[in-house]
Structure 1
Amino acid sequence: MRFFSTNNPAHQVGLKEAVIKGLAPDQGLYFPEKIPVLSADFIASLGEKSFAEIGYEVIAALFSEDLSPREIRELVDHTLAFDAPLVEVEKDIYSLELFHGPTLAFKDFGARFCSKLMSMLLADHSKTVRVLVATSGDTGSAVANGFLGVPGVEVIILFPKGKVSTLQEKQFTTLGQNITALEVDGVFDDCQTLVKKAFLDPDLSEKLLLTSANSINVARWIPQVLYYFRGMAQLEDQSRPVVFSVPSGNFGNLAAGILAQKMGLPIAHFVAATNVNKVVPDYLNGAAFLAMPSIQTISNSMDVGNPSNFPRLLALFHHDEDALREMVSGAYFEDEETRKAIHEISDLGYVADPHGAVGYLGLKRFLGQNPEDQGVFLETAHPGKFRDVVEETLGEKLELPERLAAFLQGEKQVISMGKSFSEFKGFLEGMD
């Protein structure tokens, strides 16, 4: 399959270049030239298939021109080594738990897929690949653990100082080996800007082979369609409209859900649920898209003021803004509302992290106006990853999963850095 730049559809590349380059030369995001539509028979049989069986067919529809059936099975088996269970929280409201992977966050799916695919595509490549990653939390831990020990790959993770939870930070600053963590004196958007500038710098492009494992990379973004199919497969009542509420920061997850819908998954509507970093909800409610400085909140993985994947949202609807606004509703919530939601959900017998709580709030608001529908909110991380917030809110201790608690024992290893590009460029040049 060919992939085009969202800034210039005439610029097209193959899978290998799209994955290894990460970002198009014109700063556009790569997007598939065509979206395959799966058969009605396949969609009707989802409930009878395992997660892996669903994955084989969905990924084959997207990548069979570039990968053999054996490679597709190997890639899917590596990616889907854990489940995404659907849990009923209350009548007509379900949580799709995406935190059963190695770092207990939804990004484990994309990171495992990306690392495996990249190793396949680089099997005959002699030059070291440097993966640059900006993170507001879970991306760093998922990518670091997904690429840990992969031969020929070095990972450089940029994160904003003091704006990532302790557990998230420990998951990517204690690993060593081929993982380097840069603690940037700024906000997430500063980290993201440094990464984008590095990709476009001609000096660095000549000296180093740089790529990304953020959701700007198609190999991180596309596999997220899989758990939408898995979520739908687990719904017992297939006769009523289904709404997905997606906690959103960089908007790759929402864009993946819409891609799944375009492939034939019968999702009736989406809710883009955010904290007060509400650039996209404002846009969906009629305002112009206007990037803003990010604001720190208790749902820190969504503290993004200039969402990178917004161009993919537009591309999915062929730049028809009315169609986008008709299919996706925007909602945003203050920290106080998020804490109240964590309490409300706890009273129902379920513990949610702050991001899942925002998704729950968005879904509740939409279903209040559309009571004939049923809904799924994405629980994107284990609440233990935001232990301080959840424990303070609920006034009780959380029991951490053993593999999460183990990260706390590691020693933090970081390199402190300002937010100037010249300093970051100098660091990268020193690695050559």
Structure 2
Amino acid sequence: MSYNKLTLKQGITLHNINTAKFKTNLCAIFLTFPITYENATKDTLIALMLKRGSKNLKTRQDITSKLAELYGAEFDSGVDKSGDNHVLKFYLESLNEEYLPQKEDLLQESIETLLDLVFNPNIENEEFNKEFLEQEKNNLEQIINSKIDNKTMYALNRCIEEMYEGKPYGIYKYGYVEKLKEITAKNLYEYYKELIDTCKIDIFVSGANSDIAKILENNNIIKALKERNPNHVKYGSFSNENKEKIVEEKMDVAQGKLVIGMNLKSENDKSKYAAQVYNTILGGSASSKLFQNVREKASLAYTVSSNYMKLKSNIFIRAGIEIENYGKALEIIKKQLEDMKNGDFSDEDIALAKRTIITTINNIQEEQDIELSYYYGQELSDRTMTIEEYKNNIEQISREDINTVANSLNINTIYFLRN
């Protein structure tokens, strides 16, 4: 496997992951730009509208027929929030040409199809198709309203909203129902053109693709794209507010959802690796402090775990509990945090946590989309770190490094969803 990146134009980067490990080639285009309350809903609608067709593939049926021609290729899109950025993601997966019954330029046709779908939308009279837009607005309204259905994710998102109130990271990635009525076929297309001219564009190709740079450099769509100084937010900004806030929300729920959002004050590179080890010891596995003491010994939680979100230097503890056990559960969780500050964890805890993390790192190269996301994260961090370097950085973390993290954490928000 080899990874190379090439600047096609200023602000437009090709990432070439050349590997013979998979039977498929995965092509992806990521559009990255700052997330805002005003535009988050438009961003999601653009991702939905581009799935409806292009100038050359005007309907879903046309897209389906084209994918069938490409030996059953698959096309998908999604919306993500990466730090303070909004990211529109478009994927097209097709067979590696080695497995075709006859020699064809399938990779070239696949990447050209993806470029067509993203950068050559089906536009008439300088606006998107009005009928399609109304359908997608209805679909998006359902998506936004359904966020309440998964109470675990709802509670996490609400905790993040409270921690980052009035800040970009607190914005819901799919947008807001109240903004839908403002969006028209014309103003959405105007916004799309502005977005395409200013966003950071990353094109990823994973598979047997040694000729991909030449293909893209000669592509007319790439030639037509403007150079740009990408308007995106590099990783690093974080919430540094230290006051503890308690938020209680009532809803018709059978089980309480407790989320504790914490800030890590130090944010240098070493602290990020140490935070991964700390988090795994605290609540990142079945042998963790939280799982063993809150769930197994005290029987106070159906589920309990912690997650480290390095993009914003936060750790979130999540627990599903009986509502009447809120006080006891919170007390024992806080005790685990104090024990970690006091160094109450063994060398075996550290070794086990490192093994767990390194197993996860090794799995990065086992899935094309995960490997692609890894290199995208590197791109936004302005670094290129190999898998081996990543593992070595984890191995180098000491007990003292973990203690530093433990004593740099402060609870920002305690959120409890109850009946």
Q: Name the TM-score, length of structure 2 as normaliser.
A: 0.24
State which structure, 1 or 2, has the greater radius of gyration over its C-alpha atoms.
Answer: 2
User: What's the TM-score, normalizing by structure 1?
Assistant: 0.23
